[in-house]
Amino acid sequence: MEGGSYSPPQMNHVIKQLIDVVEDCPDFPRKGILFKDIMPLFRHHELVDQTCTLLKDKILNLSKVADVIVGVEARGFLIGPIIAQKLGVPFVALRKKGKLPRECFSVKYEKEYGVDEFEIQVDALKENENVVVVDDLLATGGTLEAAEKLCAQAKCNVIAHCIIFEIETLKGRQKLNPTPIISLVKYS
């Protein structure tokens, strides 16, 4: 399974391993939230590589070619650069407010448990670039919607959102329609 495209049985094996390594953390970061902790994934370097290869393969199957990967703070920073390297394209960081030097585009957004603000440097993306936004999880869609708005401020095209896990019951996909969403594991 190393490095290239996977057959359906190989892909199913990787997805099963992903499901097995995620740890549920009830009432985190606040009561009533069931947090999906993906950090145990990074104790398994081969699974990280296989996961990023699966996501890279799915990006290559899009109708448009990705020019750049935008990784969402913080977990998008863990897989985004790997995917960008596998695709041979640049990686750009989307950070929380106040973390980037120089002039930035900024957008406030609502997430599952509060309001936050993201920034991206105004010179980080080139006009009309095709962007794939990478994060670990799609829940309500607020984070990825904010990423789309930042890319729009930079006059770029978000051609897909690429995530490992999706919580379908929170209907985040509806908020991002019609942008394609690549996800490997869906929780319902």
Query: Active-site residue 43, yes or no?
Result: no
Residue type, 187: Y
Query: Active-site residue 75, yes or no?
Result: yes
What does the alpha-carbon distance between residue 97 and residue 100 come to, in Å, rounded to a whole number? Answer: 7
User: Which residue bears the tokens 């069931």?
Assistant: 34
Residue 43 dihedral angles phi and psi, to the nearest 5°: -85, -5
Candidates 2, 112, 166, 168; catalytic one: 112
> Hey, what are 46's tokens?
């081969």
Candidates 75, 95, 145, 166; catalytic one: 75
Catalytic site positions: 75, 112
